[in-house]
Amino acid sequence: MKMKKYTAPTMVEAMAKVREDFGDDAVILSSNVTKTKGFLGLFRKRSVEVVASYDKTNDQRAYESQVRSIQPVAQPESVERMQREMREIKQMLKDIKQVDHTLGKYPDELLPVLKRLQMQGLANEHIMEIGNLVFDRMKQDKTDFTEDQQIELIRSWFCDQLHNMQFGGISYQKKFINVLGPTGVGKTTTIAKIAARALLEEKKKVGFITTDTYRIAAIEQLRTYANLLQAPVEIAYNEEDFRTAIEKLKDLDLIFIDTAGRNYKEAKFVDDLTKLIDFSLDMETFLVLSTTSKEQDMDTIIRQFDKFPINKFIFTKTDETNSVGSIINLMMKYGIGMAYFTDGQEVPEDLTEASFEKVINLLLEGESHA
């Protein structure tokens, strides 16, 4: 049995290497996401480590043997997690095989751009539609179609798909800025960045309400930012506290609401928000998602929040991933635009107000500037 470890920036790229060496009969023994710190401990880089093997005679027996050696007594939740990861990896290999097979009908000069979109995690259906569009134009023109010309045609395709969606930050026309999202996506830091911009650039009087009473550290983090901005903070443990906080802060221009970071795959925690926050207020609501999360997990969270009036997405941690296609996939699926994306922890610097040009540049060129 042959065994080999692969390291790549994304799981898609790691699986491509596995398939190149071992083909479709590869057995994935383990997968792990690692992060290394960059300059001054910031800008962490994310990589994926995959251990794969190939045994033409007995793949499954080899896999089970390796699992037993790694984890002699597997707990039920560990087994379930490994089985889920195996299903996801098999589906990923299947998707790569499907795209690779379909890409074979396109000329060589078109493949680099399409494979770049594939590595970015753009949905296969979108890649195929883009490929057909560019290939048809190449056949019509009957001339060499440079990569720059391909990119411009692809930009026009995205423009058609996203033209009804709203881009840009807070409007400054609503008093309450409500920020939702699961734990670990960077909501509090993102709120601080937006509030600092409003204070420093627009000269607005800002304040904060936090409903994240489950974590002392979250309250202290928000207080630290508020002290730097010389802005008041109110804590709301229940609906009555929330109403009291609104009354105390009524003279401010903008009130930022930092909601609790919970596992919002569970409907119970979503329902708790409806009992605490009055969504009928003069309010803009943003859903914060991390680009380092699996697209399937982000999709689940979005569906859990479908009862809320989500105005725009905010995507964080774009500096920690090399594939941002999921951003486009989710925007197109739900018809929701983007307010901001973040690429670091510095307040308020590492915050980019979204525009169509900046989002497409992020996908096509890996750059956040138009």
Residue ranges per domain, the chain?
Answer: 2-92, 108-162, 176-364
**φ and ψ at residue 157, rounded to 5 degrees:** -65, -45
Q: Supply the pLDDT for residue 40.
A: 41
The residues that bridge with 257 in the sheet, in sequence order, are: 178, 209
Q: Are 24 and 68 in contact (CB under 8 A)?
A: no
* Bridge partners (DSSP) listed for residue 210: 235, 258
State whether residue 368 is helix, strand or coil. Answer: coil
Please tell me the predicted confidence (pLDDT) of residue 196.
Answer: 92
Q: How far apart are CA 105 and CA 111, in angstroms?
A: 10
Question: Peptide bond before 72: cis, by omega within 30 degrees of 0?
Answer: no
Cα angle: 160, vertex 333, 296; to 5 degrees: 140
Q: In what order do the strands lie in the sheet with 45-54?
A: 2-8, 45-54, 27-36
Task: Name the DSSP class of 72.
Answer: S
AA identity, residue 326: S
Closest CA relative to residue 298, chosen from 328, 259, 340, 272: 328
pLDDT of residue 314: 94
Per-residue pLDDT 10s for the chain (370 aa) are: 577 888 887 766 777 787 777 776 666 666 666 666 544 444 456 677 777 776 555 445 554 555 445 444 445 557 666 666 666 666 565 555 555 566 767 778 888 888 888 888 899 899 989 988 888 888 887 666 788 888 999 999 999 999 889 999 999 999 999 998 887 888 888 999 999 999 999 999 999 998 876 666 667 888 888 888 999 999 888 888 989 999 999 999 999 998 876 655 666 666 777 777 777 888 999 999 999 888 988 998 898 888 888 999 999 988 888 788 999 999 999 999 999 998 877 777 789 999 999 999 888 876 544 4
- Predicted TM-score (pTM) of the model is 0.70
CA dist 278 and 265 (Å) reads 22
Tokens of 153: 């045609």
- For residue 318, the number of C-alpha atoms closer than 13 Å in the C-beta half-sphere is 25
DSSP secondary structure letter of residue 24: G
Q: Per residue in 310-349, is it b (16+ CB within 10 Å) or e — as a string?
A: bbbbbbbbbbbbbbbbbbbbbbbebebbbbbbbbbbebbe
SS3 107: coil
Looking at the domain covering 176-364, what would its CATH class be? alpha beta
SS3 content of the chain, % helix, strand, coil (to 5): 50, 20, 30
The three-state secondary structure class of 208 is strand
Which tokens go with 346? 């510095």
